[in-house]
């Protein structure tokens, strides 16, 4: 944990569908003092809608809580990305708020939704 915090490294897992690289899950901004980090993910359009991201992010989150002893994991996504927000909800993340016009994509500002999950949150089947 201290190495991750001091070097600013990312933890990144690549997602494969067979032999094809189709996405990634990343943990960034690891804060050892506060036992927190942010998680993000990407999956190619040809591989969406099959539960790959939910499965991978869920496993990564559980690993981070148990192995890294994190207490809080944050997640942000563009508000219009309903599929990404659905992943957060399925994995037991709580919507904390909306950041207005905080992300510039292709010359247009977008709102972000901010989610979090705590190690103490009870997450049931989804």
- pLDDT for 45 equals 87
The residue-averaged pLDDT of 96-110 equals 97
* C-alpha–C-alpha distance, residues 13 and 78, integer Å: 21
* C-alpha–C-alpha distance, residues 120 and 117, integer Å: 8
Q: What are 9's strand-pairing partners? A: none
- Residue 3, SS3 per DSSP: helix
Q: What is the DSSP string of 37-66?
A: EEEEEEE-GGGTTSSHHHHHHHHHHHHHHH
Q: What is the pLDDT of residues 45-74, one digit of tens each?
A: 888 888 899 999 999 999 999 999 999 999
* Token pair listed for 64: 């981070």
Instruction: Average the pLDDT over each of 32-36, 84-88, 95-99, 113-117 and give the range with the smallest value.
Output: 32-36
pLDDT at 1 over 50: no
**Regarding the domain with residue range 2-118, which homologous superfamily does it belong to in the CATH classification?**
Gcn5-related N-acetyltransferase (GNAT) (3.40.630.30)
| pTM, two decimal places | 0.86
């Amino acid at each position: 944990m201290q190495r991750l915090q001091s070097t600013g490294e990312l933890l990144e897992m690549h997602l494969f569908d067979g032999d094809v690289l189709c996405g990634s899950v990343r943990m960034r901004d690891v804060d050892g003092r506060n036992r927190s980090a942010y998680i993000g993910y990407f999956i190619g359009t040809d591989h969406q809608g099959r539960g790959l991201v939910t499965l991978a992010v869920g496993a990564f989150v559980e690993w981070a809580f148990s192995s890294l002893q994190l207490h809080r994991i944050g997640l942000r996504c563009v508000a219009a990305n309903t599929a990404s927000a659905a992943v957060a909800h399925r994995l037991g993340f709580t919507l904390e708020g909306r950041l207005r016009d905080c992300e510039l994509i292709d010359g247009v500002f977008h709102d972000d939704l901010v989610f979090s999950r705590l190690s103490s949150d009870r997450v049931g089947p989804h």
